[in-house]
């Protein structure tokens, strides 16, 4: 029997073989939750040395129940499903995987852009209904020469900017935290107000924080061009969903491509899903066979590092590692 145990709260891919292999190398085995609900996790975490989590909520109650808990690893970039503040208070490092699915998310954003700008879904529905007319999705304008506004210029925003230029798009960006990175990429740094007013396509790539919750709301949507398209592959709470529904209904904007919702699984009869100018996908922008394998391995390697006395590659609360309990971590690793 494995000396250590890692609790997997949830996952969306076919198996956990890749992470099991990584963790077996440091004497750890996996226990996989059935539902990922809080009560179940509270019971399972009592015997766990680490957690790997995808979308399940790792609440303060779950964290406090982990009597042996040493590390919480996120399958992904954002950590809004983890009570990082409570983990930090207790002294537990929280890890993530910031450098994966960059191409996938950028490509998904561009897929939304192209599908909406070219009327692909509208024409597809028309053909299936016997309507072969050009006018069903008209007017359509050339994409080259139009402006893409990127909100958030981290690794994904930077990747998207490069790909967008290949389509002949002009790129502007808003990120008050890294304006120099925007300029270094040869992209014009603008205020959010200017971006909303100028962009033909607006793609959101910021993490969900108290600062970014509702960042794109009624005021921003009303200030956009009537021909604008909004794309969100980040987190549902960043774009005010009620305001977006009104914007699509009343044609403040031309359309939206949304991969993330609140709640994550909207009921089939939700009015947002009835809007013909919405293209929706089920939080899959991160997905490719290659990116999922990378994610499994990198997330497991972060957890394995802590369990074997090494520094992980990425820690979202690095101040924890300065505590005396982590003084013996090998600082040459990670």
Active site members: 235, 264, 283
Distances (CA, A) of 141 to 145, 201, 291: 10, 12, 33
Alpha helices in the chain (DSSP H): 17-24, 38-44, 60-65, 84-90, 102-117, 120-128, 155-166, 179-184, 192-198, 218-223, 241-249, 289-307
- 180 φ/ψ angles, rounded to the nearest 5 degrees: -70, -35
Please, are residues 272 and 244 in contact by the beta-carbon 8 Å criterion?
yes
Nearest to 16 by CA among 300, 285, 308: 300
CA–CA dist 67, 199 (Å, integer): 51
Kindly report whether the peptide bond that precedes residue 263 is cis, defined as omega within 30 degrees of 0. Answer: yes
**Please, how many CA atoms are within 13 Å of residue 148, restricted to the half-sphere of its CB?**
31
- 280 φ/ψ angles, rounded to the nearest 5 degrees: -120, 140
């Amino acid at each position: 029997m494995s000396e250590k145990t890692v609790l997997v709260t949830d996952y969306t891919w076919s198996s956990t073989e890749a992470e099991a292999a990584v963790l077996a190398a440091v004497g750890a085995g996996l226990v996989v939750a059935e539902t990922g609900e809080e009560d179940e996790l509270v019971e399972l975490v009592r015997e766990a040395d680490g957690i790997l989590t995808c979308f399940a909520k790792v609440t303060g109650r779950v964290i406090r129940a982990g009597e042996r808990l040493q590390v919480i690893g996120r399958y992904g970039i954002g950590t809004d499903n983890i009570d990082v503040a409570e983990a930090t208070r207790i002294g537990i490092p929280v890890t993530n995987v910031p450098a994966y699915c960059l191409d996938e998310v950028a490509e998904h954003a561009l897929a939304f852009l192209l599908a909406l700008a070219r009327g692909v879904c509208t024409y597809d529905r028309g053909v299936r209904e016997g309507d072969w007319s050009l006018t069903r999705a008209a007017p359509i304008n050339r994409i080259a020469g139009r402006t893409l506004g990127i909100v958030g210029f981290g690794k994904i925003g930077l990747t998207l900017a490069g790909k967008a230029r290949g389509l002949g798009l002009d790129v502007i960006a808003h990120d008050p935290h890294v304006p120099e990175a925007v300029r270094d990429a040869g992209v014009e740094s603008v205020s959010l107000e200017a971006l909303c007013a100028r962009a033909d396509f607006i793609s959101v790539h910021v993490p969900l924080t108290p600062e970014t919750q509702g960042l794109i709301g009624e005021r921003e949507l009303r200030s956009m061009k009537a021909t604008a398209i909004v794309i969100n592959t980040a987190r549902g709470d960043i774009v005010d969903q009620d305001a977006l529904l009104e914007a699509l209904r009343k044609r403040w904007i031309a359309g939206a491509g949304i991969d993330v919702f609140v709640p994550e699984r909207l009921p089939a009869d939700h009015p947002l899903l009835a809007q013909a100018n919405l293209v929706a996908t089920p939080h899959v922008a991160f997905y490719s066979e290659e990116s999922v394998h990378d994610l499994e391995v990198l997330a497991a390697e972060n957890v394995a590092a802590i369990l074997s006395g090494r520094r992980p590659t990425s820690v979202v609360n690095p101040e924890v590692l300065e505590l005396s309990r982590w003084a013996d971590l090998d600082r040459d690793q990670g």
